[in-house]
Structure formats: C-alpha cells, structure tokens
Structure 1
C-alpha cells in the first residue's frame, strides 16, 4: 500500500480572517463552519492560527470580552506548517516537535488546507479511538 501524503488527508475547508477580526466574529465562523480553528492571514500570507482553546485561555479566562479583542491579539504567530506533498509521518513529527494538534498546509505561500491529529489518526488507523472521536458528528 502506498504511503499517503498530506494532500490525501487534509481538510480543504479552511477559513481565514484578518488580524483585526473580532474574536466574537471568529467564534461565529468556527460555529457556522463546524471548525476548531481559523487561520489568520494578511495580504494572503499566513500570520497565525486561532483555535477555540486559544480564545478560551487567552481571552475568556482572562475576563476578556471576545467583542473587544481581535484574532491578531491572541493568535499563535509561530505556526508550524507542512507542504501538501509531505508524508504523514512528517506531519506527525512536526506536530510532536511543536506540541500542536493542527497544522496549516501551505503550497509555497498559499494556504491550501489544514491537517489535524484526527485527520492523521483516521488515515493511519480508522479503528483507533481518536479516529472514532474525530469522525463522530459534532455535539452541538
């Protein structure tokens, strides 16, 4: 069996926001698109990533109002990325080294997708607990 590349398993449904987008709007985008992250871009260049956890830890837990804070204020700006032709093992190693759960997939300067731990779990072992959880319907 051929080894899968990131382009085979990545999610292409990517939402981007500018750094000045309010966290309230970011939360709406995540809810409406059923996503746990949005990418922060400026002039079509990746400048960061905001996860649902980032919003809770860096804003809400600090008594911040999501309407008064922006994606640029709380995003993780040192973002590990992988190219779409990367091997799944490369993505796993990058996640491990960076202690991250999601990786933007970039082709040159262009964002083309996101790969998550769940995506990788499903690709490697569809019967694993993480794959089962990752493929389950959202619990809204």
Structure 2
C-alpha cells in the first residue's frame, strides 16, 4: 500500500467510508403513542433536535423541532391533542451501516433532511447527521488540496 493510501486510511479519508464510522449510537427514541408534550420535553431534557419514533421497538418515523413548529405551533394548534404518530415524518428515511458517506449525503440533500437513522433488519443502530457528513467532505477536500500541492511540486 502506498504512503498516500496509508495516510488517507489513517485519517479516515479513503474512498468508501461507511456511515457506521460516523454514526452516533446514542439515539433518543419515543414510542408512537407518546404524547407530543412528552416528546418535546424529552428533546429539551436530552438536548437533541430530533427523536426517532418507534412502534414496538421498530423505527417508523422521525420528529424534529421543525416538525413540531411547522405542524403544530405555526398552526396555533393545541399540542396536548397530539401524539408522536401525528407529527412524525414518515415513512422513515434511513440508511444501513454499510451505506457510503457520499451516498448518505446525496440522500440527505435530495430529501432535504439533516439526520438519517441507521437501521438494519428493522433495528435502530444509530444516527448520522449532515454535520457529520460535511466534516468528512471537508477533510477530503483538505487532503486533496494537500495532495495537489505535493504532486505540483514534482
């Protein structure tokens, strides 16, 4: 393996980085019947911008702060009348742990979302965010610039 390949690999910048390398395994979940007020309180208490909604342990949707604002608050509706299932974005848009970072990024851009649950066999494994993916893209750009400087010197 070349020195450049080793350097890229050591920095996690080789091609084909799976999302499992970046995902957070700490995902906040709620059940579909959870009252919306409890969902919002959980998000505030856990300091997260989204929760994954599960039905009998299986992930079925996502609720973000934006979902609550757009679907309830902006319409001046009474939050106490809603459950997680009423507000969640569904069907769940997710990736598997082996999905390439660039494919996940393309999906997020196409679907205009900032978080992707990582699911395999109906089981929630983690979550990856747009910020996670952008950090890898930025590191790749910096590495390419470094390589171009080295190559340009020869």
Same fold (TM over 0.5): yes
**Which residue in 1 is equivalent to 2:23?**
10
**Which 5+ residue runs of structure 2 have no aligned equivalent?**
1-7, 9-13, 142-154
Q: Which stretches of structure 1, 4 residues or longer, exceed 4 Å deviation after superposition? A: none
1:34 and 2:34 correspond: no
Q: CA deviation at 1:49?
A: 0.6
Q: CA deviation at 1:53?
A: 0.2
Q: CA deviation at 1:5?
A: 1.6
1:89 and 2:141 correspond: no
Task: Please say which of residues 1-10 and 54-63 is displaced more in the overlay.
Answer: 1-10
Q: Does the residue aligned with 1:59 lie in a helix, a strand or coil?
A: helix
Q: How does 1:48-127 map to 2 (within 5 A)?
A: 48-125=61-138
TM-score normalized by the length of structure 2: 0.76
| Structure holding more helix per residue | 2
Return the index of the structure with the highest Cα Rg.
2
CA RMSD of aligned residues (A): 1.6
Q: Does the residue aligned with 2:74 lie in a helix, a strand or coil?
A: helix
The count of aligned residue pairs is: 127
* Alpha-carbon separation, structure 2, partners of 1:122 and 1:66: 36
* Alpha-carbon separation, structure 1, partners of 2:40 and 2:62: 13
Q: Does the residue aligned with 2:97 lie in a helix, a strand or coil?
A: coil
* Alpha-carbon separation, structure 1, partners of 2:47 and 2:137: 23
Q: Deviations over 1:6-27 (max 9, x none)?
A: 0111121111111111111111
TM-score normalized by the length of structure 1: 0.83
* Alpha-carbon separation, structure 2, partners of 1:20 and 1:80: 20
